[in-house]
Amino acid sequence: MKGAFLTSRVVRKGLQASTLQARQRSSLPEQAHQTASLVQGEPNYPVVATAIPGPKSQELMKDLNDIQAVGSVQFFVDYARSLGNYVADVDGNILLDVYTQIASLPLGYNHPRLLRAAHSPEMTLASVNRPALGSFPDARWPQKLRSALMSVAPEGMTNVQTMACGSCSNENAYKAMFIVYRNRQRGSEDLPPIEDQQSCMLNRAPGSPSLTVLSFEHAFHGRTLGSLTTTRSKPIHKVDIPALDWPVAPFPMYKYPLDQFVAENSAEDERCLQRAEEAIEEYNRAGKWVAGMVIEPIQAEGGDNHASPEFFQGLQKIARKHQMAFMIDEVQTGCGVTGKMWAHQWFGLDGPPDIVSFSKKMLTGGYYHTDKYRPNAPYRIYNTWMGDPAKVLQLEEVISVMKDDKLIENAADVGAHLMTGLNGIAERRPGLLSRIRGLGTFVAFDLPSGGQRDKLMAVLRSKGVVSGGCGDASIRLRPSLVFQRQHADIYLGALESALAELGGD
């Protein structure tokens, strides 16, 4: 594998000089670059051989466009040559990837332990025979759930329901909310009466009740119909698609730096909590009963927006007061990226949430839940596959690597290093970077405008760095858990060089 990344001595020498200049610009300690890589054989730095997308990618885009829309395709990847924190494209470019397949690679590309796990007989059987888990699971399925998903379950969460992706995880979690809420309204956990069963087939009450889920401005929870109703980040996700009349509340929009606006941000928490409760009461009075609320610990797609522990504690109290579900969507924030296994562990909640959904770096989708939200009859929460045992086998190995290599601690350390570097750049280039924020490596910053953000991302890519945008003018970092200080320094050096290029100095 290592040989696939060898370039000419001239190219390597030039890149080494460029990396040295980046280190000097970023004013970060030299010893940070001497850490051994957690993925043996990965490149030491990016290599840019062509424009990106290059000629081969452009040819493939034309080919694909004959059968499928390609407007979102950035370039074509050579997955065989990608390794660790570096993604290779079909034109010979090797890019430092701080976006990692939209936040979904826990150990980067081609981690050797995952490759070994992929060749096991157990993985072959799971892949070839992909079972309908709700009806025909393998004999080892209970043990695999315990050794993988339940071994990292949030405290107090005693059940897990596997699914295939984030959207379907949230969709089925909403159904669990509705079932429990309706049981409470009827005063019984028995199967619904015959009138309900008949009327639901006509999409009418009482079998199809007027129940809703509260979500928050700028949220992203998926693109299927129910989850799309709770998604409120970008119009392109929703326009022309029918949506349900469900309540929405504001998510706190803080002033930065946080330590200079404590009173203002506390008042913003109170405003948003009050608006959330008002929305619940308004919908309940109208008979559109709010069965639960769903919220991200850090709003991702909508702009990497953070809120205080006190805000989340307040929401949990409101949910309990109104006897509704309190659900936390950890699709992007889960799996150790914030310096804890689950981001909501930072909030000091009074007991567990009712439901916690996951996907992305967890490889499989699904949701944890308390006993209360276990379905009261077969097939009420069901689909053909209900997840993928091959992904759970991979996750089992990922969790083992996370423990062996202390990757959650690594995320906390590297995240602090990134924040220090970004704040240093902001001080040297006032007016360009703002709202620098993050937990662990779940880090973001703003540019003065969306146009400047997009230009900066393009220049970063020309320097061999893949990054992602979010919100109106934010750049978000979503590196793998094997992202280390030396990778952070390469990123920071490229960022400062790109800013200088855009600024003309």
Active site residues: 220, 329, 360, 384
Q: What distance lies between CA 71 and its chain's CA centroid? A: 22
Query: How many Cα atoms are found within 13 Å in the side-chain-facing hemisphere of 235?
Result: 3
Helix ranges (H only) for 119-233 are: 121-128, 141-147, 166-186, 194-200, 225-230
Helix ranges (H only) for 135-190 are: 141-147, 166-186
Taking the C-alpha atoms of residue 317 and residue 122, their distance in angstroms, rounded to an integer, is 45
Taking the C-alpha atoms of residue 4 and residue 41, their distance in angstroms, rounded to an integer, is 10
3-class DSSP assignment, residue 426: helix
Taking the C-alpha atoms of residue 219 and residue 284, their distance in angstroms, rounded to an integer, is 22
Element (H, E) at 404: helix 389-404
3-class DSSP assignment, residue 353: coil
Residue 89, token pair as written in the block: 């494209």
Q: Measured between alpha carbons, how far is residue 237 from residues 250, 444, 469 in Å?
A: 19, 22, 15
Taking the C-alpha atoms of residue 64 and residue 45, their distance in angstroms, rounded to an integer, is 31
Burial class (CB in 10 A: 0-12, 13-18, 19+), 30: exposed
Burial class (CB in 10 A: 0-12, 13-18, 19+), 68: exposed
DSSP 105-116: -SS-BS-HHHHH
DSSP summary character for residue 326: E
